[in-house]
C-alpha cells in the first residue's frame, strides 16, 4: 500500500505537467483558430461607416487580442493586429482630444510591433542602436518582415510626433526613416502605400532648411494617391496638414480639405472607416485655417 502511494506521488508531477502543457497547447490552438475570424473582423471594421459604433467597439476588440496574446505570446499575427488596432484607435479617436493618452497608446502599439519584428528574426532596438547599425540590421529583412517593420516604424513615428519636446524623440526619427525606407524597397504598396504617406509627411512637414524636400514630399503623396486610385482620403488630409501648411499654400489647403469633406461616403467602401476619420479630421483642420495662414 505504501509502495502504491509512493508511485502515485511520483506520477503526480508528471500528470500535472501534462495537464498544464495540454492547457497551454489548447490555448494556443484556440488563438490560432481565431486568426481567420480576426481577418474578417478587421475587414468589417474597415468597412464601418458609423464612427461612434467603431469607437465603442474597438477597446473591447483590443483587450480581446491582448488576452489572446497572454495565451500565445509568440503569435506574430495577433501582435500585428494589436499594433494596427492601437494605432487606429489612437489616431482616429483619441489624438485630437487627449494627446497624452494617445501617446501611451502609440507606445503600446510600438511595443507589440517591435516584438513582432523581433519574432521574424530581426533583432533591433530602434531607440538605442546607431543609424548605421540599424540600417545594417534592417537590410537583412525580407518581405515576411514588412508588416512588422511598417508598424514598428509607424507607431514609433507617431509617438515621436506627440513628444516633439523630447530631444531623443527627434533623434529617433532618423531610425523611423531607415525602417520605412526598407519597407519602400521591399513592398512600397504595403498598407495602401503607407510608407509613401510617411515620407510625404517626413519631407513635407519641415522647412528645406531643416531637411525638408517639398518636391520629394509631393512625389510620395502622388504615389500613395495612385496606389489607392485617389480614393483614400487620408492621403489628401496629410498633404494638406503637412505639405500645404508648410508651403503656406492656403488655397491648396482649403481646396484639399473641402474635397475630403464633400467626397461621397461610398468612395472607397473597403476603407470607409479611414475615410470617415479623414472627413472628421478635415473639419477640425479647417477650424485652424485662420491661425495657420
pLDDT for res 38: 72
10 Å CB burial of residue 217 (0-12, 13-18, 19+) is buried
Domain spans of the chain? 46-187, 188-293
Return the ∠ at Cα 95 (arms to 156 and 134), rounded to 5°. 5
The rounded Cα 184 to chain-centroid distance in angstroms is: 16
> What is the distance, to the nearest Å, from the Cα of residue 244 to the centroid of all Cα atoms in its chain?
24
Q: What is the pLDDT along the chain (293 residues), one digit of tens a residue?
A: 444 444 444 545 554 445 444 555 666 765 565 666 777 888 999 999 999 999 999 999 999 999 989 989 999 999 999 999 999 999 999 999 999 999 999 999 999 999 999 999 999 999 999 999 999 999 999 999 999 999 999 999 999 999 877 655 556 789 999 999 999 999 999 999 999 999 999 999 999 998 899 999 999 999 999 999 999 999 999 999 999 999 999 999 999 999 999 999 999 999 999 999 999 999 999 999 999 99
Spell 82-95 as b/e; 16+ CB within 10 A means b: bbbbbbbbbbbbbb
CATH dotted code for 46-187: 1.25.40.920
Measured between alpha carbons, how far is 276 from 99 in angstroms, rounded to an integer?
20
pTM: predicted TM-score of the whole model, two decimal places: 0.87
pLDDT of 34:
66
Alpha-carbon gap, residue 197 to 139, rounded angstroms: 21
Amino acid at each position: 500500500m505504501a509502495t502504491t502511494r509512493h508511485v502515485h506521488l511520483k506520477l503526480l508531477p508528471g500528470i500535472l505537467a501534462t495537464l498544464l502543457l495540454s492547457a497551454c497547447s489548447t490555448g494556443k490552438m484556440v488563438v490560432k483558430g481565431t486568426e481567420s475570424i480576426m481577418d474578417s473582423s478587421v475587414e468589417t471594421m474597415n468597412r464601418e461607416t458609423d464612427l461612434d459604433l467603431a469607437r465603442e467597439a474597438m477597446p473591447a476588440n483590443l483587450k480581446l487580442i491582448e488576452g489572446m496574446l497572454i495565451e500565445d505570446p509568440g503569435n506574430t499575427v495577433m501582435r500585428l493586429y494589436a499594433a494596427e488596432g492601437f494605432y487606429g484607435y489612437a489616431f482616429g479617436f483619441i489624438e485630437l482630444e487627449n494627446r497624452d493618452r494617445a501617446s501611451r497608446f502609440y507606445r503600446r502599439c510600438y511595443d507589440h510591433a517591435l516584438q513582432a519584428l523581433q519574432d521574424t528574426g530581426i533583432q533591433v532596438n530602434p531607440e538605442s542602436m546607431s543609424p548605421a547599425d540599424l540600417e545594417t540590421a534592417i537590410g537583412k529583412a525580407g518581405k515576411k518582415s514588412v508588416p512588422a517593420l511598417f508598424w514598428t516604424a509607424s507607431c514609433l513615428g507617431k509617438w515621436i510626433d506627440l513628444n516633439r519636446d523630447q530631444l531623443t524623440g527627434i533623434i529617433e526619427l532618423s531610425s523611423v526613416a531607415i525602417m520605412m525606407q526598407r519597407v519602400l524597397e521591399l513592398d512600397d504598396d504595403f498598407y495602401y502605400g503607407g510608407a509613401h504617406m510617411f515620407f510625404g509627411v517626413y519631407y513635407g512637414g519641415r522647412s528645406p532648411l531643416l531637411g525638408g524636400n517639398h518636391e520629394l514630399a509631393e512625389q510620395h503623396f502622388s504615389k500613395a494617391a495612385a496606389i489607392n486610385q485617389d480614393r483614400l482620403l487620408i492621403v489628401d488630409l496629410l498633404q494638406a496638414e503637412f505639405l500645404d501648411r508648410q508651403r503656406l499654400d492656403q488655397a491648396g489647403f482649403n481646396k484639399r480639405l473641402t474635397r475630403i469633406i464633400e467626397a461621397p461616403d461610398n468612395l472607397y467602401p473597403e476603407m470607409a472607416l479611414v475615410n470617415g476619420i479623414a472627413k472628421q479630421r478635415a473639419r477640425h483642420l479647417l477650424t485652424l485655417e485662420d491661425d495657420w495662414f
